[in-house]
Amino acid sequence: MRRLMLLFVLALLIACRPQALSQPAAAPGIQTQSQFVITQPPAANVETVEAEAPQTVSVDIVGFKYSPNSVKIKVGDTVTWTQKDAVMHTVTIVSGPESFDSGLLKKDQTFSYTFTKPGTYSYKCTPHPNMRGEVIVE
């Protein structure tokens, strides 16, 4: 009879224990979801920054010169050279992070290049090596 009474009390204790005890305990050092609160910063602290649209800069090839012979642009900007001389010219990189060559440009032809890496690009005209220019990309 004692055993039956002890089993009854034990079953009653197990059935009536608080709900918190029925959840498994978290491993040491592990936080459960009920132990922290996630909050978001107020909207007033959010700052919107608009990126500038890429620009196109024009350089004329006229009178055996690049005009202007030095331009400063940003990464993603494009330079367009317009050949206005009666003789053919090129835009050929001699130093810089990237290289390109326009090939021979006839009068009224254009050549464009979009710069994707920062640095200083020095260029020349292959048939007329005294013609020099530079593009500084920031």
What's residue 12's pLDDT?
55
What's residue 89's pLDDT?
98
DSSP, collapsed to helix, strand or coil, labels residue 72 as: strand
Which of 9-13, 25-29, 103-107 has the least mean pLDDT? Answer: 25-29
Cα–Cα distance between 135 and 120 in angstroms, integer?
Answer: 6
What's residue 119's pLDDT?
98
102-132 residue pLDDT tens:
999 999 999 999 999 999 999 999 999 999 9
Rounded to the nearest integer, the mean pLDDT of the chain is 81
Helix (H) or strand (E) holding 2: helix 2-15
Q: Residues 41-47: what's their mean pLDDT? A: 57
Place of tokens 């020099």: 132
Quote the percentage of the chain above a pLDDT of 90. 62
What's residue 39's pLDDT?
55
Q: Residues 60-65: what's their mean pLDDT? A: 98
Please state the pTM of the whole predicted model. Answer: 0.65
Q: Residues 23-39: what's their mean pLDDT? A: 50
Up-side HSE of residue 87: CA atoms within 13 Å toward CB?
8
Cα–Cα distance between 124 and 94 in angstroms, integer?
Answer: 7
Asked if residues 98 and 121 have their Cβ atoms less than 8 Å apart, the reply is yes
Domain boundaries, the chain: 56-137
Q: Tell me: domain 56-137, CATH 2.60.40.420, correct?
A: yes
Helix (H) or strand (E) holding 120: strand 119-124
* Amino acid at site 126: T
71-106 residue pLDDT tens:
999 999 999 999 999 999 999 999 999 999 999 999
